[in-house]
Amino acid sequence: MQRLFFSLKFSPAQQQQLLPYQQQALSVCPGAKAVASDNLHLTLFFLGQVDSEQRQRLINYAAQINTPAFQLQLDHLGCFAKPKIVYLAPSQIPDALLQLQQQVAQCCKAEGFNDIHDKYRPHITLARHAACDAALQQPVAPLTLQVSEFALYQSAQFDGRLQYLPLYNFMLI
């Protein structure tokens, strides 16, 4: 069994572009713990524990997804008080992102996985263990990222460090 999730796939250069926003998040919520730059991602669907047969069927489903590449403009910092995270998010969700997320969710639900959230709220977690105001909605200089692929990731501990490893990449058209 592996702990898996689907996510947008950011290049190392794109992950580096997120670091100034992470510093801004840490200045808003001092004491929060920064997410490692190579773990910065935007989740499409969290699966949890998946066996090898389910994984293969999910990969087969995901390979059939036809969604165009798109631009994602991230323009505000926010905070989820319950999981204690500070995040960067879009104020306007691109239609292509919603289409992609819905298609991924359909294939996951067909395999018996349920989304634990009642509404999709795309965001990039920048820091954890954040003691900040849940009403935080701070505009930031917009960052536009070109999104051309998504991936099935494994969440695992290696040498005492949480790492998100892309197992299979899927190109957007």
Quick: pLDDT tens for 76-93.
999 998 889 999 999 999
Please check whether residue 152 is in contact with residue 6, taking contact to mean a CB–CB distance below 8 angstroms.
yes
| Averaged pLDDT for residues 141-159 | 96
Length of the chain, in residues: 173
What pLDDT sits at residue 82?
85
Dihedral over Cα of 154, 158, 163, 166: its sign: negative
Confidence of residue 120 (pLDDT cuts 50, 70, 90): very high
Regarding pTM above 0.85, the answer is yes
| Averaged pLDDT for residues 101-124 | 90
Full DSSP string of 47-104? EEEE-HHHHHHHHHHHHT-----EEEEEEEEEEETTTTEEEEE-SS--HHHHHHHHHH
Which residues form the domain of 59?
2-171
What pLDDT sits at residue 151?
98
Examine the pLDDT at 70 and tell me if it is beyond 80.
yes
Q: What CATH number is given to the structural domain containing 124?
A: 3.90.1140.10
What pLDDT sits at residue 131?
85
Please check whether residue 86 is in contact with residue 137, taking contact to mean a CB–CB distance below 8 angstroms.
no
| Averaged pLDDT for residues 128-157 | 92
Maximum mean pLDDT: which of 90-94, 130-134, 158-162:
90-94
User: For strand 137-147 and strand 33-34, is the pairing parallel, antiparallel, or unpaired?
Assistant: unpaired
Phi/psi at 153 (5° precision): -110, 150
Closest CA to 45 of 108, 1, 89, 138: 108
Closest CA to 137 of 100, 98, 87: 87
Examine the pLDDT at 116 and tell me if it is beyond 70.
no
What pLDDT sits at residue 61?
97
Please check whether residue 173 is in contact with residue 100, taking contact to mean a CB–CB distance below 8 angstroms.
no
The structural domain count of the chain equals: 1
Q: Output the average pLDDT for the chain.
A: 94
Confidence of residue 55 (pLDDT cuts 50, 70, 90): very high
| Three-class DSSP category at 25 | helix
Please check whether residue 22 is in contact with residue 34, taking contact to mean a CB–CB distance below 8 angstroms.
yes
Dihedral over Cα of 53, 58, 59, 64: its sign: positive
